[in-house]
Chain A
Amino acid sequence: MNGSRAASVTVPWRFPSLRIEGFPWTPAIIICVIAFAAIFADVLAPYNPEIGVLGDRFRPPAWQAGGSEAHLLGTDHVGRDVLSRLIFGARVSMVVGFTAVIVAGLIGTTLGILSGYLGGWVDQVIMRVTDTWLALPALTFAIFLAAVVGPSMWNIVIILAAVYWTRYARVIRGEVLSLRERDYVRLAIVAGCSKKTIMRRHILPNVLNSAIVLGTLMLGIVIVTEAALSFLGVGVPPPKPAWGLMLADGKKGLMAGYWWLTVLPGLCIMFMVLSANLLGDWLRVKLDPQLRSL
């Protein structure tokens, strides 16, 4: 913000001081543990997650009758080690989750800013597309892509991004509409900044907060949707270990009492989603000046 240009009227973007007071430690630790497992899966996992011994299937966790030390958390319906699949599953869920959220974020935020700031026919076109998009459920997309291209992990990322960018667009557009009225944006216009600069330097930084916050909240939704897609058979293709898929496969064992096949992946998903949401809530208060005062 050098002096030669019009006096800087925008709120300079600097990462606000994340004071430790009130920092949600537990969720942050959980997310780090999951990230750690995802990164070092190859080292951590005792077995190859995709190979199983059929004879050794449905073995309960070690602490239960019939469990064995070899498979701490038991084995699944094809005899694969559940612990290894959970560790590798962290990698898949993290990759699918984060990539989808980031891609959706990028598309959604850009379109949100464009439609919110430029208004006029641009706004109408983008809004009409968002409405139409809302009518095409995630599921329809999933099966289309699974049918046309064949199921793969990256399909799921494309699908989740394609469906959830509309949420970003809608939220960001709302924010931009109110930002546009603010004095400092009007001043920037008077100062002769071009539309592009205004959007990049003034609108984007202020909208980034809610994009990040929304991102953390979307992470949960994306993971749970992936599980639903796997349940319907169009999610991440077996034998790749993904939590959602493990949960879907595990449902067969519910009746027969093989509780760990669904409860364990379910817990992982729950911890990840809860942590993402709690971090999101905390971030929202920290980053959003207006709410900070409360």
Chain B
Amino acid sequence: MLGTRMFGLLGSALLMCAIAAPAGAAPEGTMTWGVHVTLVSRWLDPAEAEGLITPFMVYYAIHDALVKPMPAGANTPSLAESWSASKDGLTYEFVLRKGVKFHNGDPITAEDVKFSFDRYKGAAAKLLKDRVREVQIVDPGRVRIHLKEPWPDFMTFYGTSATGAAWIVPKKYVEKVGDDGFKKAPIGAGPYKVVSFTPGVELVMEAFDGYWRKTPSVKRLVFRSMPEETTRAAALKKGDVDIAYLLTGPVADDIRKTPGFKLVGAKPPGVFWIDLPDQWDPKSPWHDSRVRQAARHAIDRNAINQAETLGFSLPTGSVIPRSFEFALAFEPPAFDPGKAKKLLAEAGYPNGFDAGDFYPFPPYDSMGEALAGYLQAVGIRTKIRTMERASFLTAWRERKLKGLIVGITGASGNAATRLEAYVSKGGIYTAGVIPEVEDLFQRQARELDRAKREITVRQIQQILHDRAMQIPIYELAFLWGVGPRVEEAGVDQIKGFAYSGPYEDLRLKRQP
């Protein structure tokens, strides 16, 4: 028998007791969200999950996955009762939970799992398809996934919100109505089923009392797309919505000060940092690590944190979120303009220098202006150049931007996957490579033993920190306002998840 690691069983045991809890009364009441993004039809179909956390706001409500991040942990078994990985790391086996059904009553079988994996065309689809040799249906209740070669991060991609491959859709129904039809009237296995959806405007869902984990306590969920922040806050105060996502600065401050309302900060894995591509050009001042050190000390992270996210964000010294696996936490560099000026003088720039363009990350222009202000104060003079979001992302990716670039990414995964994009040779945003770092990175990519791998990944982070390759600012907190009717808003229940969740645990206050 394949050596099974007991992780899977332990996980499911925990959940069993949750089910045993007395089934709540019949679901009632409506909870409404003022959502900051445009609700797109694409987010109703897990097969098209782009590499961001946003679509999972919808998937957690109407779909379910074999294994997904839950309060219990990153790879919590859900539709799979348990999962286990073979000793040689080539085979992963999932045992399906018995008696679990889709919204239309069809039972969930291994065929649906294979069908969902094969039709997946979202983020990292190519990566998965390249590395997976075969999805084998052992029997209707058991699936084995065979890899071509050992891939320690397989479960980081398959079992977390990095991809939507593990989220299961009904094979017969999808084949009957086709992709467009499925997006118009999706059927999933999640705690809520879709009642109505107006693309870009509103998504209405109702509790699915047949949900295996427990019957949700709130009857109806409504997501309403509201692009303007002040409107979201106004709708919250008026009572038109119960939760308003993404509030910043003064608007958030006002909600916090309003009696009966709460301001909460979710911690998605996103770090704001300043990228310095010019450091690879010997002629540029940034090539000198003392200048980079100076810049790190020039910025008052707490003041900006207070101004932008009311102190909810977490100033940091590393580009890797603390919550990530294999992350090495660093305290944020002290705010010390004097030291910064001294370092600049040592590096030969007593009265500072012109550092060229400063690109804030759209739409966070005010934060960009504040950062540039601090750098200016110590003599690093920049010219703020705001850009339209889409052209900024394109130009950054094609390395057309020179000077200082404020960057952030919310893609989930672990320290290694995050580093891959920024420091390793093939990385999209890598402007230069340190041979030593590249060597360490290749070694960890093949390392099966978690402990050894962690040491290597941490070594990389140590080098980046010592050489001050980037200027980390803070781990961005995602603020939302919560209205008086909400008892349990599900903030930060699922580690690294920016939105309310799990939906089945949300509760409204009993109407007196």
Q: Is the CB of B385 within 8 A of A55?
A: no
* 9-residue interface stretch from B28-36, B60-68, B105-113, B358-366: B358-366
Interface size class of A (residues with CB under 8 A): 20 to 34
Q: Is the CB of A255 within 8 A of B251?
A: yes
Contact of B369 among A78, A151, A234 (CB under 8 A): A78
**Interface positions of B from 363 to 422, Cβ below 8 Å from A:** 363, 365-366, 369-370, 373-374, 376, 384-388, 390-391
Asked whether A233 and B362 contact (CB < 8 A) given A55-B303, A147-B391, A252-B249, the answer is yes
- Number of residue pairs spanning A and B whose beta carbons lie under 8 angstroms apart: 77
Residue A165 CB within 8 A of the other chain: no
Q: Is the CB of A238 within 8 A of B303?
A: no
Residue B304 CB within 8 A of the other chain: yes
Residue B229 CB within 8 A of the other chain: yes
Q: Is the CB of A254 within 8 A of B230?
A: yes
Q: Is the CB of A253 within 8 A of B373?
A: no
Q: For chain B, what secondary structure do more than half of its interface residues adopt (helix, strand, loop), or is it mixed?
A: helix
Q: How far is the CA of A252 from the CA of B233 in the complex (A)?
A: 10
Q: How many residues of B contact A (CB 8 A)?
A: 31
Q: Is the CB of A150 within 8 A of B249?
A: no
Which residues of the partner chain A approach B200 to less than 8 Å between Cβ atoms? none
Contact of B370 among A54, A143, A151, A258 (CB under 8 A): A54
Residue A174 CB within 8 A of the other chain: no
Which residues of the partner chain B approach A119 to less than 8 Å between Cβ atoms? none
Residue A251 CB within 8 A of the other chain: yes
Q: Is the CB of A51 within 8 A of B387?
A: no
Which residues of the partner chain A approach B251 to less than 8 Å between Cβ atoms? 252, 255-256
Q: How far is the CA of A150 from the CA of B374 in the complex (A)?
A: 25
Q: Is the CB of B233 within 8 A of A255?
A: yes
Q: How far is the CA of A249 from the CA of B300 in the complex (A)?
A: 22
Q: Is the CB of B250 within 8 A of A77?
A: yes
Q: How far is the CA of A59 from the CA of B153 in the complex (A)?
A: 51
Which residues of the partner chain A approach B388 to less than 8 Å between Cβ atoms? 143, 146-147, 151, 233-234
Q: Is the CB of B230 within 8 A of A78?
A: no
Contact of B373 among A52, A58, A151 (CB under 8 A): A52
Q: Is the CB of B386 within 8 A of A237?
A: yes
Q: Is the CB of B253 within 8 A of A78?
A: no
Q: How far is the CA of A79 from the CA of B377 in the complex (A)?
A: 14
Digit string of A227-265 for contact with B (CB within 8 Å is 1, else 0)?
A: 000000110011100000000010111111110000000
Which residues of the partner chain A approach B374 to less than 8 Å between Cβ atoms? 54
Q: Is the CB of A249 within 8 A of B366?
A: yes
Contact of A253 among B250, B362, B370, B390 (CB under 8 A): B250
Asked whether A77 and B366 contact (CB < 8 A) given A146-B388, A150-B391, A255-B251, the answer is yes
Q: Is the CB of A252 within 8 A of B248?
A: yes
Q: How far is the CA of A99 from the CA of B363 in the complex (A)?
A: 29
Residue B307 CB within 8 A of the other chain: yes
Q: Which of A79, A252, A257, A258 has the most CB of B within 10 A?
A: A252
Which residues of the partner chain A approach B303 to less than 8 Å between Cβ atoms? 54-55
Q: Is the CB of B384 within 8 A of A239?
A: yes
From residue B298, how far is it (CB to closest CB) to chain A in Å? Answer: 13
Q: How far is the CA of A239 from the CA of B366 in the complex (A)?
A: 9
Q: How far is the CA of A51 from the CA of B250 in the complex (A)?
A: 20
Which residues of the partner chain A approach B248 to less than 8 Å between Cβ atoms? 252
Asked whether A57 and B384 contact (CB < 8 A) given A147-B391, A233-B363, the answer is no
Digit string of B225-253 for contact with A (CB within 8 Å is 1, else 0)?
A: 00001100110000000000000111101
Which residues of the partner chain B approach A151 to less than 8 Å between Cβ atoms? 386-388
Q: How far is the CA of A96 from the CA of B43 in the complex (A)?
A: 42
Q: Is the CB of A78 within 8 A of B370?
A: yes
Which residues of the partner chain A approach B233 to less than 8 Å between Cβ atoms? 255
Residue ID in chain A nearest B367 by CB atoms: A78
Which residues of the partner chain A approach B300 to less than 8 Å between Cβ atoms? 54
Q: Is the CB of B365 within 8 A of A238?
A: yes
From residue A57, how far is it (CB to closest CB) to chain B in Å? Answer: 7
Other 13 A-B pairs with CB < 8 A, given A52-B370, A78-B307? A54-B307, A55-B303, A57-B307, A77-B366, A78-B370, A249-B366, A252-B248, A253-B250, A255-B230, A255-B234, A255-B250, A255-B254, A257-B254
What are 12 A-B pairs with beta-carbon distances under 8 A? A51-B376, A54-B307, A54-B373, A77-B249, A77-B307, A77-B366, A151-B388, A238-B369, A238-B386, A239-B384, A249-B366, A255-B251
The 10 residue pairs across chains A and B that have the minimum distance between CB atoms = A256-B250, A256-B254, A255-B254, A146-B388, A237-B386, A147-B391, A78-B369, A253-B250, A255-B251, A54-B303
